[in-house]
Chain A
């Protein structure tokens, strides 16, 4: 499992109700359901990934996460997770507000665009950064925006989302990583945030 997902999993307590937006093939959900007795549901738009998730015995709904989240009743979940998908969402504030409507807490993770490697890439080569964590060329990326830790904190302040927990991590190898406390916006590859009202 990806390192940022491991961090997210560690934040979810046993038996919680979890909605995983853009759950992919369901590796995080499967871990939460099997090892933590979580009642989990995923939403995924890719047919093949949905098939794999249901194939793992998980409850997965095939559809667009922004639309699908609207159907759940208020407070249906303890956690609503959006891992590394915020960059692809047209209305991030609207989506996070919806997450906090159907869940007590939202957990959001994203690659940090402001990390030193990216800054150097732009500074030295004068080109849009392409890295292991942002592996797309400008013309073929699914990401419609780039996010930095500093930007996200400011966004939460402006929008009124309380950050209840945060972790900046360096994870160069997908499965490995460590927490970074010193100059996170310069050093972290990813930011992981727990939001509440």
Chain B
């Protein structure tokens, strides 16, 4: 997920919001796909809008890799920026909080309030670190389901998510087919390509190579900020596009008229990436980054649900789907979305697909886009009406 959000262009704000926490599994452990157990489990979440008396207007938002539960509104009056999807979530916005009860939770394994490697071990003042069990996207959505049930929602009107959040949407629609009426998958994929895994592995190696990482045991000491910053820089490059970078930076120099002929950040793009990397270390945990990228790399719905076949995986799905890709997304290119659509079509599922022309790369789903806004609003409305 990108660091930048632009001013919203439609609708209002949900205003002041608060992140809340739901803890479960004290009595019986939460078993993970890796075979280990975790208890208790805390999930950080936010909600906007009201659940209808019929309970038929709940929309679950799934955040991207390094996002959090704070999707819309402001925590404090002094916040410089609203939640990560404030452009799309609020009164009168595509995910209209006057009409829908919107839930967003931080994923299991994250570091923004949900249980993860940066949490303390139960009954101890030690941090989990690398003792934390490996979690999968499947584990994450099982935790999400517990939260949704806790909030009194039996059936979700829709699940909406982009990038790794889109993987959660797909996983939810296959794991709990009866629970999801509409599934909106933005800039996502059924599984990582070798290219995507390669970028993640390079980012992980940057963290592992930082001496401060110390085998994952860095709490209380110097943090592996350098490694984490480089990991973020690698990720950030994959979220942009050649065109977007050319337009934004070109070969322009930063605060100088001539090259320095040393290893300083001469070019604006270098300076920008260094800034983004540094900024990221202030809010994110290095171990959590390792776990979450690994969860994304492990994700494969054809393996998990179709014995290797994507078409077979969708045999169990019951939702109506909206799949959206962006022309300049080279991390999860359109062909991967088309594979999803093909498997849905072969199963006779109701699916809409659109490739939106956008030159800003993978991050396009986070930026203001009237076409995307219209698609999401219409999809939610027609799902609610049971049309299609």
Contact = CB atoms under 8 A, between A and B. Distances in A.
A71 interface: yes
B143 interface: no
A33 B387 contact: yes
Contact of B352 (A39, A47, A54, A72): A54
Given A47-B357, A54-B378, A59 B348 contact: no
B320 interface: yes
A59 B345 contact: no
A51 B372 CA distance: 9
B197 interface: no
B346 A73 contact: yes
A158 B281 CA distance: 71
B301 to A, nearest CB: 17
Of A41, A50, A54, A72, chain B has the most CB atoms within 10 Å of the CB of: A54
A72 B387 CA distance: 21
Contact of B342 (A34, A47, A59, A71): A71
Contact of B375 (A55, A61, A72): A55
Contacts of A63: 338, 353
B203 interface: no
A57 B384 CA distance: 10
Given A51-B374, A71-B345, A61 B357 contact: no
Interface string B316-351: 000010100000000000000010011001111011
Interface in B340-382: 341-342, 345-348, 350-357, 371, 374-375, 378-379, 381-382
B152 interface: no
A76 interface: yes
A59 B338 contact: no
Contact of A62 (B355, B378, B381): B355
B388 interface: yes
A60 B387 CA distance: 13
Contacts of A55: 374-375, 378
A54 B346 contact: no
A46 to B, nearest CB: 11
A58 B371 CA distance: 15
B354 A72 contact: no
Contacts of A57: 378-379, 381-382, 385, 387-388
Given A54-B322, A59-B388, A62-B353, 7 more contacts: A33-B388, A34-B387, A41-B351, A57-B387, A57-B388, A72-B346, A73-B347
